[in-house]
Amino acid sequence: MENILITGAFGQVGTDLITALKDIKPHDTIIASDIRIPQDSKPGIEQVILDVRDQESLRKTISRYNVTRIYHLASILSASAEKDPFLAYDVNINATFGLLKTAYKEHVASVIIPSSIAVYGPGISRDMVGSGVPTVPQTMYGISKVTGELLGNYFNRKFGLDVRGVRFPGLISYGTVPTAGTTDYAVEMFISAVEGKHYSCYLRPDTFLPMMYMPDALNALLKLSDADSEKLTNRMSYNVSAYSFSPEQLASAIRRYIPGFEVSYRPDERQIIADGWPRSLDSADAIKDWGFSPEYGFNEMVSDMITKLRSIRGRNKNAS
Ligand SMILES: NC(=O)c1ccc[n+]([C@@H]2O[C@H](COP(=O)([O-])OP(=O)(O)OC[C@H]3O[C@@H](n4cnc5c(N)ncnc54)[C@H](O)[C@@H]3O)[C@@H](O)[C@H]2O)c1
């Protein structure tokens, strides 16, 4: 039995990870921490207010619950990090270093830290980018994610701490509305379409980016967490992605279910971030080392998102 601490637990990934862990590991203790926690407590989990920059509170939480595994999800994402790079440095770099140090000193068995396609920068060939392609990011988010990967490798080599990570593409989910990333347009577009509203997209219609549906992202995290350490050839930086699409392709796929859905395009500063990222990823290392295999293709993801959002929207309407 494990005692699993999740930092940043009530963001887009954490919210769904809590549910997934409760389903597949019902006997483990889940400690869901964040700087803000929901008012309605989730049954069967411990909810803790924790700012990851506060090392003493982190140490006390790890010690109190005898934490054996940490999913370190607390992060300032790409668009927010460009708005406040000093905060992003503090949360994504300083606090990640502190967390690794505390995990090592408190004998935590393993730490999982998601990275991102933001580690790449301009100047690389942007198609089918593999894990070994040089990382030269120009955004604070990208810099902080590369640093997290390097620190994870360092703590593993130097102290034997079991640290692992995947480079996620844009993630699509219906449970939480993302607000801080560059790929958030996809979820926003779905919500506008289901609510019968026009959507103004902040990226150009032809901006191709790699993406993945949340159930596949969680599967990847959980598979990597439980993989045989000996088989990991690339501990911190496994590229994982299911498909790539552009805003205009997503809009036309949504129109198959919601004809008449209208989108206009008004690129803002997030376009510059997106233009420095890969258009598609090569997930070969993850496939080879721990059997990464996404279940949802693009069309299945679109169909499931619309079904799920329609049902949530119906429930909310009935409740109001
Ligand atoms: N969502 C994506 O599309 C995506 C893509 C690539 C990588 N990732 C990575 O996945 C991880 C989780 O991302 P997410 O999408 O859930 O992000 P999110 O922004 O939805 O959630 C991050 C959470 O961190 C919390 N947080 C911020 N500062 C904190 C602090 N000082 N102390 C404690 N908690 C703090 C926030 O309150 C929030 O709940 C991050 O490492 C992110 O870089 C996400």
121-152 pLDDT, tens digit each: 988 899 999 999 999 999 999 999 999 999 99
Is 34's C-beta closer than 6 angstroms to any atom of ligand 1? yes
* Residue 287 placed within a domain: no
The predicted structure's pLDDT at residue 320? 40
What's the CATH number where 123 sits? Answer: 3.40.50.720
Is 180's C-beta closer than 6 angstroms to any atom of ligand 1? yes
The predicted structure's pLDDT at residue 56? 98
Tokens of 246: 């552009």
Same domain, residue pair 181 and 273:
yes
The predicted structure's pLDDT at residue 51? 98
Are 290 and 284 spatial neighbours (Cβ–Cβ below 8 Å)?
no
Selection from 138, 58, 65 nearest residue 94 by Cα: 58
Which amino acid residue places its CA nearest to atom 11 of ligand 1? 73
pLDDT in tens, 74-97: 999 999 999 999 999 999 999 999
Which amino acid residue places its CA nearest to atom 12 of ligand 1? 73
Q: Which of 71, 120, 141, 199 is catalytic?
A: 141
Strand ranges (DSSP E) for 219-296? 238-239, 243-245, 263-265
Q: How far is the CA of 13 from the centre of ligand 1 (A)?
A: 7
Give me the percent of the chain exceeding a pLDDT of 70. Answer: 98
pLDDT in tens, 3-25: 999 999 999 999 999 999 999 99
**pTM for the model:** 0.96
The predicted structure's pLDDT at residue 278? 96
The predicted structure's pLDDT at residue 315? 57
Q: How far is the CA of 165 from the centre of ligand 1 (A)?
A: 14
What's the CATH number where 193 sits? Answer: 3.90.25.10
- Residue whose CB lies within 8 A of the most ligand 1 atoms, among 73, 89, 112, 239, for a mutation test: 73
For residue 317, pLDDT over 60 is answered with: no
Same domain, residue pair 187 and 234:
no
Is 183's C-beta closer than 6 angstroms to any atom of ligand 1? yes
Question: What are the backbone angles phi and psi of residue 94, rounded to the nearest 5°?
Answer: -60, -50
Same domain, residue pair 64 and 189:
no
Question: What average pLDDT does the chain have?
Answer: 95
Closest ligand 1 atom to the C-alpha of 171?
Answer: 3
- Is position 141 annotated as part of the catalytic site? yes
> How far is CA 152 from each of CA 5, 26, 118, 155, rounded to the nearest angstrom?
17, 28, 17, 5
Which range of residues forms the domain containing residue 192?
Answer: 171-211+242-280+295-319
The predicted structure's pLDDT at residue 61? 98
- Residue whose CB lies within 8 A of the most ligand 1 atoms, among 48, 75, 163, for a mutation test: 75
For residue 316, pLDDT over 80 is answered with: no
Q: How many helices (H) and strands (E) does the chain have?
A: 12, 14
Same domain, residue pair 221 and 251:
no
Same domain, residue pair 134 and 159:
yes
Q: How many domains does the chain have?
A: 2
Give me the percent of the chain exceeding a pLDDT of 90. Answer: 90
Residue 115, classified by CB atoms within 10 Å of its CB into exposed (0-12), middle (13-18) or buried (19+), is buried
Q: How far is the CA of 81 from the centre of ligand 1 (A)?
A: 11
pLDDT in tens, 182-231: 999 999 999 999 999 999 999 999 999 999 999 999 999 999 999 999 99
* Residue 179 placed within a domain: yes
Are 60 and 14 spatial neighbours (Cβ–Cβ below 8 Å)?
no
Q: How far is the CA of 10 from the centre of ligand 1 (A)?
A: 8
Q: How far is the CA of 114 from the centre of ligand 1 (A)?
A: 9
Closest ligand 1 atom to the C-alpha of 170?
Answer: 3
* Residue 285 placed within a domain: no
Same domain, residue pair 157 and 187:
no
How far apart (Å, rounded) are the C-alpha atoms in residues 188 and 60?
Answer: 38
The predicted structure's pLDDT at residue 134? 93
> How far is CA 243 from each of CA 60, 135, 199, 269, rounded to the nearest angstrom?
41, 21, 23, 24
